[in-house]
A and B are shown apart, each in its own frame.
Chain A
Amino acid sequence: MLELFSRLGRRRTSKDVAKERLKLVLIHDRANVSPQFLEMVKGEIIKVIQNYMEIDEESLDIQLTKTVSEEGEGVVPALIANIPIKNVKSVGK
């Protein structure tokens, strides 16, 4: 709570905004987040998850976006995946 107050108390200057925006855009630039790159990540994720459950490969969605950090570092990049499950295999039991 105290931390929240101190963060609110500090005026967010234009350079803070600049820095935050830059950091995010550079993550995309550097990762060269091309469709191919995300396809590669997607392929690997599917492989691993398929060992445990049956998923809907067609509607699997994965994106590089941003989210608010819980450690209070402001906005941080996040890899968000939406993976619809058709059936859980019994190997896990």
Chain B
Amino acid sequence: MGEVIVITSGKGGVGKTTTTANLGTGLALLDKKVVLIDADIGLRNLDLVMGLENRIVYDLVNVVEGACRIKQALIKDKRFEGLYLLPAAQTRDKNAVSPEQMVKLCDDLKDEFDYIIVDCPAGIEQGFKNAIAGADRAIVITTPEVSAVRDADRVIGILEANEIKKPMLLINRVRPDMVKKGDMMSIEDIIDILAIDLIGVVPDDENIIISTNRGEPAVAEGKSLAGQAYQNITKRLMGEEVPLIDLAGNDGFLSKMKKLFGFKSA
């Protein structure tokens, strides 16, 4: 029996789609059977980030309307065994899928897959509410900026009101150099404010843009700091305890030495 995890944020552009692509790929690399649902109807993007944009035939709305079977709409990612994408409709609006239809779809997919990861639209309107309808768990993404943290707090409240208990926090685009100077809120600051459990931290990393350009999630190459961060988050999602990576923020002598000699600090 699979688990439905929604990736949400409130504020737009903080990394929901990037995270969905990387966690999905990460889970598939760990031999899980995974389907990614792009619930951002009208602003389809997950296909592009995954590099699967040329293979779309049917979409999420076709499935819930019964125009095709689920199997027909799922795109199999040939690079990663066990990874599938259910793309969003591009020419429909947010109300094309109802909460009931979403619950039914998620329930059906749970029989087949270990993880169903839902990429939410930004905002807290109906599109978001439809997207979270079938969820068992949620990951809330924020960046270390006041507006993103505020919106994350709103979303956490709404998730809890919708019986999605204990959402987990992912802090994206952290810049250790700025944190060090006191010009960016630290991980501790943000956890202190939002008071939820942390699933991980992803640094601001140009490799995310490079890998998105290519349509290959950073988690797959695993060399970049962001890719490693997503590998760790994937493991934590599966219940493993993995320490936070050193984002070069606390560059003590020891961690410098470790880096010099090629040790990964945790």
* A interface, CB within 8 angstroms of B: 11, 13-16, 18-19, 21-23, 25-26, 29-30
Contact = CB atoms under 8 A, between A and B. Distances in A.
B103 interface: no
A22 B150 contact: yes
Interface string B179-195: 10111111001001100
Interface of B: 145-146, 149-150, 153-154, 157, 179, 181-186, 189, 192-193
B9 to A, nearest CB: 16
A18 B153 contact: no
B97 to A, nearest CB: 28
Nearest to B193: A22
Per DSSP, chain A at the interface is helix
A38 B19 CA distance: 40
B129 to A, nearest CB: 18
A23 B183 CA distance: 17
Per DSSP, chain B at the interface is helix
Nearest to A13: B182
B182 A11 contact: yes
Given A23-B193, A26-B193, A30-B157, A16 B150 contact: no
A18 B181 CA distance: 14
A14 B157 contact: no
Given A25-B150, A26-B153, A29-B153, A14 B182 contact: yes
25 contacts: A11-B182, A13-B181, A14-B182, A15-B179, A15-B182, A15-B183, A15-B184, A15-B185, A15-B189, A16-B182, A18-B185, A19-B185, A19-B189, A19-B192, A19-B193, A22-B149, A23-B193, A26-B150, A26-B153, A26-B193, A29-B153, A29-B154, A29-B157, A30-B153, A30-B157
A26 B172 CA distance: 20
A21 B146 CA distance: 8
Nearest to B186: A15
Q: In this complex, which of B182, B189, B192, B193 has the most chain A Cβ atoms within 10 angstroms of its Cβ? A: B182
A50 B154 CA distance: 37
A26 B183 CA distance: 21
A16 B185 CA distance: 8
B178 to A, nearest CB: 8
A33 to B, nearest CB: 14
Nearest to B183: A14
Given A11-B182, A13-B182, A26-B193, 9 more contacts: A13-B183, A14-B182, A14-B183, A15-B185, A18-B185, A22-B149, A26-B153, A29-B154, A30-B153
Given A15-B189, A30-B157, A22 B183 contact: no
B249 to A, nearest CB: 13
A59 B185 CA distance: 42
A25 B150 CA distance: 8
